[in-house]
Structure 1
C-alpha cells in the first residue's frame, strides 16, 4: 500500500466510530500506559487488524517499542471524543533506554484500530529525557471550567497558526503571556517564566509542515498535532516524523511540546 493510501485508510478507520465517551478513552489511555510499562500490547483491547506505526513506518506490533517493558516516569493524556482518539505523552527518563513516546490510540466500535507513535531517543532532535521530565512535571494542564473552554475550532486554529508561522512569519500566532516551549529537552520558560518565549523564527522558504493529524480536547484546552517537519533532517528534506502538543487557555497558547525524530544524530546539524 502506498504512503497516501495507507494514511487515507487509517483516517477512514478513525472516523468510522460513531461515538465514544471520555471515560472510555481515559480507561484506554490508562491501559496503554500499563501495557507499555509491562511491554504487553496484547493487554490492550485491539481490533482484529490493528495498524501499528512508529515514526510513520508500519511495523509488527510484537517487534515495536510497545512490546518492550519501559520504566515510565511521567505521562499526560488528552481525549478527543469527537474523533474517538486518545493521545498520551510518556517520559521515560530513568528507563535503561530513555525515551519520549507520543502515541495516538484510534478507536472504532470500542476497539483500537490503529496505534501511531512518534518515538524519540538518543540522537533525535535536542533529545534529553531527564530535562523533558523535569519541565513536563511542573506544567499545569488542569481541566478548564466549562464556561471558559475554547471551541475545537479555536484550539485547532491556534495549533495550526503556530505551525504555519514557521513558513510565514506574518501569520499571527495567539501566544499567551506567559508561554513556554519544551523542544526535545530544551525549555524556554526557565529564564523568562512570566513572558512569551514560544515565538519561533521563520524558516527558509519553501516550508510547510504537512500531513497533520489532530487530537483535540476541549476540556483540557489541548491539541496534539502529528506532522512531517521539513528542513531540519538533511536526509529527509520533505519531512521527518514530528509532534506538537499544545495547551491553549482562553484562546492563547500556554505550553508547547515538540518532539522531532532524526535519521542521523541531531538530524545531521
Structure 2
C-alpha cells in the first residue's frame, strides 16, 4: 500500500512538472516572432495560428481575413512581454514609414505553441495624442532589459501598480501609487520627460475627473517588471479601448506607455479639477 502511494505521488509530481512546462518563455517568444513575421509581410500564413483561433481588433470581434495583420507593415521598433503562467504575450509595434504610421498593441494567447487568440489595438492619426515618429524616438531611447532578480516585484504587486495608477488618476487622490524617480509617460507620442531629467516623475495632479476604467485585463512579465493593462474608459461596451504598459524597477514606475483608440471621431476631453497644477508648471 505504501509503495503504491509513493508511486502515485511520483506520478502526480511528474505530471505537475509536465503541466508546468506546457508554456515556456521560448514558446511565447516564437509565437510573437511568427506574429511579427506575418505583420511585416502581410501574410497571415506565417503566423503560428491554431485552426480555431479567435480574432479581435480594437476590442471588436473580427475575422482572420479582415484584420490589419493582413497588411504588410515596415515595423520600426517593438517591445514584447511574456506572461508564462497565463501563456499570453503583449507586443508594442511602431510603424513610421510606408505611408501610414501606426502604433499597435497586440496580445496573443498561446496553447501548445499555437496562437489561439489575437487581440490588437490599432492607433493612428485620429487617436489620442498620436505621433508615431515621436513614439519611436522616445521608445527607442529607453532601456527595457530583463531585470536582475533583486529589482523585481511579484506578479500581484505589478497588477496592483497598474490598478493604483488608474484609480488615482481618475477617481481617488487618497491612493498612493508607486511613483518612481526618474520616470516618464509616453502617450500616443507625447513624452513627459523629453530631456531625461533625473528628478522627473510620472505623477499627475489627480483626480483629473471622474472616469471609470473598466474591463481591465492583465498580461504580466515579472522578469521584465512589466504589466500591460487592456481596458475601456467609461462604458464597458462602447468606451475607448486602451492599453497601458507599466515598467517598474524596484517596485517603482520607471516608464508608462499608452495606446488609446478613439472610436468616436470626436475630441477626448477630461475636465481637470479646479486646483490642478499643469505638469509643465511643476
Same fold (TM over 0.5): yes
What is the SS of the residue equivalent to 1:177?
A: coil
Larger radius of gyration: 2
1:90 partnered with 2:93: yes
1:18–1:50 Cα change, 3 Å: farther
Shift of 1:203: 2.9
Aligned position for 1:262: 262
What is the SS of the residue equivalent to 1:69?
A: coil
Aligned position for 2:218: 214
1:107 partnered with 2:114: no
1:198 partnered with 2:179: no
8 Å Cα contact 1:102-1:118 kept in structure 2: yes
Aligned position for 1:226: 230
> For residues 140-172 of structure 1, what are the alpha-carbon distances to aligned partners after superposition, in whole Å with 9 as ceiling and x for unaligned?
111111233211111111111111112212111
Aligned position for 1:7: none
Shift of 1:111: 1.4
1:44 partnered with 2:58: no
Shift of 1:197: 3.5
Shift of 1:260: 0.7
TM-score of the two chains, using structure 2 as the length reference: 0.83
1:237–1:63 Cα change, 3 Å: closer
Q: Distance in 1 between matches of 2:24 and 2:195?
A: 40
Shift of 1:18: 7.8
Q: Distance in 2 between matches of 1:77 and 1:244?
A: 13
Aligned position for 2:13: none
8 Å Cα contact 2:105-2:243 kept in structure 1: yes
1:64 partnered with 2:67: yes
Q: Distance in 2 between matches of 1:17 and 1:65?
A: 33
How many residues are treated as equivalent by the alignment?
249
8 Å Cα contact 1:175-1:196 kept in structure 2: no
Divergent runs of 4+, >3 A: 16-19, 264-269
1:217–1:113 Cα change, 3 Å: same
1:193–1:266 Cα change, 3 Å: farther
1:251 partnered with 2:251: yes
8 Å Cα contact 2:243-2:259 kept in structure 1: yes
Q: Which runs of 5+ in 2 are unaligned?
A: 1-18, 270-282
Give the root-mean-square deviation of aligned CA atoms: 2.0
